[in-house]
């Protein structure tokens, strides 16, 4: 059972709520522990996105889904040692940096696992349904790295083979993930020592880093559509759907898409800011409005703040 939260609520549970909304992209301000208007807007957007009653009140159903989407359940093979009170070294420094970024640790980055570091670890564990013992084992490392946001970086295993990591989201299967990353179910199972096809939301998988010279990857953010992404990367909706084996135009936040790596060597990219027009951009880059529209497959002169345009190099 979770405590119901609403506008005006305060306390540690509100901090947990804000942290989880922030991970999912529904809350941008600092974590305050005070349920204000920005928190309520984030809650309503989250509820709407996932088909819940849009009340702005965080009830059990909302809590359960927040935890399901943000709490890793199974740790990967850890590349980090277990740390506890008294540990020292670079791994402790790394731990402190990440805890400080996540607003759990306020002390000095001193590479020494002191009492303040232990208390920070315990608070993080408590907030993420882990055993709150202050010991940083593989489960705790997994959660820290997941929250810190570095699990989708390229890493190298002990054999020198390159792979990337992928965090399982709702609806994923080994088959869908294998198709998305141009690999096989057997290869993913082998690399992760899996004995079954069962996955858990939040589970972190190592994925073979196959040749991606013909495409780049893009992570879907709030407000994205296939059309907006296709325009930004000078491709088509149909091409993105074909490359990603999509059968509909529905996207989810955090979804990883392969985007055709079209040759843009003769172009630079420009991100639209407030007040920009095609005419002002064309003048700035010594080109024409028609040239920009043609390259970016634009059918009108309307621009959106944050839109990425290809601009011919002169």
CA distance 314 to 305: 24
> Higher model confidence: residue 2 or residue 123?
123
How many CB atoms neighbour CB 120 within 10 A? Answer: 22
Q: Is residue 28 part of a domain?
A: yes
Q: Residue 45 maps to which CATH number?
A: 1.10.101.10
Can you give the residue range of the structural domain that contains 28? 12-70
Q: Is residue 30 part of a domain?
A: yes
Q: What is the pLDDT of residues 32-59, one digit of tens each?
A: 888 888 788 889 888 887 788 889 999 9
List Cβ neighbours of 196 (8 Å cut-off, separation of 6 or more).
none
Query: Taking 80 as the threshold, does the pLDDT of residue 23 lie above it?
Result: no
Lowest mean pLDDT among 20-24, 270-274, 296-300: 296-300
What pLDDT is stored for residue 293 in this prediction?
Answer: 80
Q: What is the pLDDT of residues 106-148, one digit of tens each?
A: 888 888 999 999 999 998 888 777 888 999 988 888 878 777 6
CA distance 133 to 272: 48
Locate the DSSP E strands across the chain. 154-156, 162-167, 204-208, 215-219, 256-260, 267-271, 308-312
**What is the average per-residue pLDDT within 91-109?**
82
User: DSSP assignment of 180-215, as one string?
Assistant: HTT--HHHHHHHHT-SSS---TT-EEEEE----TTE
Kindly report the pTM of this predicted structure: 0.35
Say how many domains are in the chain. 5
User: Residue 80: exposed, middle, or buried by beta-carbon count in 10 A (0-12, 13-18, 19+)?
Assistant: middle
Q: Is residue 172 part of a domain?
A: yes
Three-state secondary-structure class, residue 276: coil
Q: What is the pLDDT of residues 181-233, one digit of tens each?
A: 767 788 888 888 788 888 877 677 777 765 544 566 677 777 788 888 877 77
Q: 248 and 270, same structural domain? A: no
CA distance 101 to 96: 8
Q: Is residue 104 part of a domain?
A: yes
Q: Residue 110 maps to which CATH number?
A: 1.10.101
Q: 221 and 194, same structural domain? A: no
What pLDDT is stored for residue 84 in this prediction?
Answer: 93
Q: What is the pLDDT of residues 243-297, one digit of tens each?
A: 777 777 888 776 777 777 665 556 677 888 888 888 888 888 888 887 788 777 6
Distance in angstroms between the alpha carbons of the first and the last residue of the chain: 62
Q: Is residue 79 part of a domain?
A: no
CA distance 14 to 229: 34
What pLDDT is stored for residue 303 in this prediction?
Answer: 82
Tokens of 260: 């055709």
- Nearest Cα neighbor of 39 from 2, 4, 6 is 6
CA distance 203 to 251: 21
Q: 314 and 295, same structural domain? A: yes
CA distance 278 to 260: 25
Q: Is 308 left (phi over 0), alpha (psi -120 to 50) or beta?
A: beta
Q: Is residue 185 part of a domain?
A: yes
Q: Residue 185 maps to which CATH number?
A: 3.10.350.10
Q: Is residue 305 part of a domain?
A: yes
What pLDDT is stored for residue 117 in this prediction?
Answer: 94
Q: Is residue 175 part of a domain?
A: yes
């Amino acid at each position: 059972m979770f405590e119901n939260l609403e506008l005006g609520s305060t306390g540690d549970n509100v901090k947990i709520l804000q942290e989880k909304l922030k991970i999912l992209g529904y809350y941008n301000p600092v974590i305050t522990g005070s349920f204000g208007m920005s928190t309520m807007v984030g809650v309503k957007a989250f509820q709407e996105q996932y088909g819940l009653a849009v009340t702005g009140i965080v009830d059990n159903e909302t809590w359960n889904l927040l935890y399901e989407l943000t709490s890793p359940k199974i740790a990967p093979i850890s590349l980090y040692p277990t740390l506890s009170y008294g540990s020292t070294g670079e791994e402790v420094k790394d731990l402190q940096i990440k805890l400080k970024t996540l607003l759990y640790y306020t002390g000095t980055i001193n590479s020494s696992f002191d009492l303040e570091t232990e208390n920070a670890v315990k608070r993080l564990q408590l907030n993420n349904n882990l055993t709150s013992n202050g010991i940083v084992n593989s489960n705790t490392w997994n959660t820290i790295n997941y929250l810190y946001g570095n699990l989708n970086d390229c890493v190298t295993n002990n054999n020198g083979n390159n792979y990337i990591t992928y965090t399982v989201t709702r609806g994923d299967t080994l088959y869908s993930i294998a198709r998305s990353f141009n690999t096989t179910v057997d290869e993913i199972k082998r690399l992760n020592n899996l004995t079954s096809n069962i996955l858990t939301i939040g589970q972190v998988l190592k994925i073979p880093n196959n040749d991606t010279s013909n495409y780049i990857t893009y992570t879907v953010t709030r407000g994205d559509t296939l059309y907006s992404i296709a325009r930004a990367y000078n491709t088509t909706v149909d091409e993105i759907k074909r490359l990603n084996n999509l059968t509909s135009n529905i996207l989810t936040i955090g979804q990883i898409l392969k985007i055709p790596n079209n040759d843009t060597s003769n172009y630079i990219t420009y991100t639209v800011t407030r007040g920009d027009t095609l005419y002002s951009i064309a003048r700035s880059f010594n080109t024409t409005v028609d040239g920009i529209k043609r390259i970016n497959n634009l059918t009108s002169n309307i621009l959106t703040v944050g839109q990425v345009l290809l601009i011919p190099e002169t």
